[in-house]
């Protein structure tokens, strides 16, 4: 699964990688947690745009937004058939910018957090889906992160990992003319192990209020 991630890359680099027309105003974040607002990149008017969505997808047919607590991740092996995700896979795919993510490994009676990133700490994108829920009050836009089986770098910590897209897959994933199942075929395989680095971090990350660089600092 993926339950926490980071996005501290300068906004100008984010705009460049995703082809945004304008440089967004973003605050560095080191401990992004479910139910929080996250930046997503989606197609609008034929161009990529940056928008905000609550992490935890709420389908249009949900009774209330509480369902989002159970849908922060979507397994890519079943996303095409799950009622909560299948419509979004067809029409509302997105990229979720990140520069690292956390996973936890059970060690005795405690869980040790680990931080994963590209070797140079550079920006990448998770494969995501977004939805719009119109209940009472303001419409709610929300999102989920796709997951796949862990590669050799992540497997010692967790059996699942977020789907990280290669830059050349960004266009097909966002393109609404590409059928959902066809786009999904591009992301089923996990990222090669050599493209990830991993190190343990302190328990600061366990509390979402600790949104500081120390959350991802290597454990001494």
| Amino acid 127: pLDDT | 96
- Which residue of the set 76, 94, 103, 141 is catalytic? 103
Q: Please tell me the predicted confidence (pLDDT) of residue 98.
A: 98
- Intra-chain end-to-end CA distance of the chain, in Å: 26
Look at the block and give the residue holding tokens 């209940």: 135
- pLDDT (0 to 100) of residue 189: 65
What SS3 class is residue 152?
coil
Catalytic: 2?
A: yes
Query: What is the CB-side half-sphere exposure of residue 119 using CA atoms within 13 A?
Result: 6
* Catalytic one of 2, 76, 94, 143: 2
- Report how far residue 162's alpha carbon sits from residue 100's, in angstroms, rounded to the nearest whole number: 10
pTM of the model: 0.95
Tell me if residue 21 is catalytic: no
**Residue in the structure block whose two tokens are 């249009």:** 60
**Count of beta carbons in the 10 Å neighbourhood of residue 192:** 11
- Those residues of the chain that have pLDDT short of 70 are 188-190, 193-194
Q: Which fold has domain 4-216?
A: hypothetical protein yedk fold (3.90.1680)
Return the pLDDT at 197.
Answer: 93
For residue 186, the model assigns a pLDDT of 75
Query: Quick check: 201 and 219 in contact, CB under 8 A?
Result: yes
């Amino acid at each position: 699964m993926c339950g926490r991630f980071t996005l501290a890359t300068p906004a100008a680099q984010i705009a460049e990688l995703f082809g945004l027309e304008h440089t967004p105003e973003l605050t560095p974040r080191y401990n992004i947690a479910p139910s929080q607002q996250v930046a997503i990149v989606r197609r609008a008017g034929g161009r990529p745009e940056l928008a905000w969505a609550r992490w935890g997808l709420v389908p249009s047919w949900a009774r209330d937004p509480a369902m989002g607590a159970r849908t922060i991740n979507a397994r890519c092996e079943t996303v095409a058939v799950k009622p909560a995700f299948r419509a979004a896979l067809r029409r509302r795919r997105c990229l979720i910018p990140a520069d690292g993510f956390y996973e936890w490994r059970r060690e005795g009676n405690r869980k040790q957090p680990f931080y994963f990133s590209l070797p140079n700490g550079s920006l990448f994108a998770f494969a995501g889906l977004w939805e719009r829920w119109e209940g009472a009050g303001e419409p709610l836009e929300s999102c989920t992160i796709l997951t796949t089986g862990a590669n050799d770098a992540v497997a010692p910590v967790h059996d699942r990992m977020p789907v990280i897209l290669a830059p050349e897959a960004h266009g097909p994933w966002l393109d609404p003319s590409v059928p959902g199942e066809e786009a999904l075929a591009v992301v089923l395989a996990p990222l090669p192990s050599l493209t990830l680095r991993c190190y343990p971090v302190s328990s600061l990350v366990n509390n979402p209020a600790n949104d500081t660089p120390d959350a991802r600092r290597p454990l001494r």
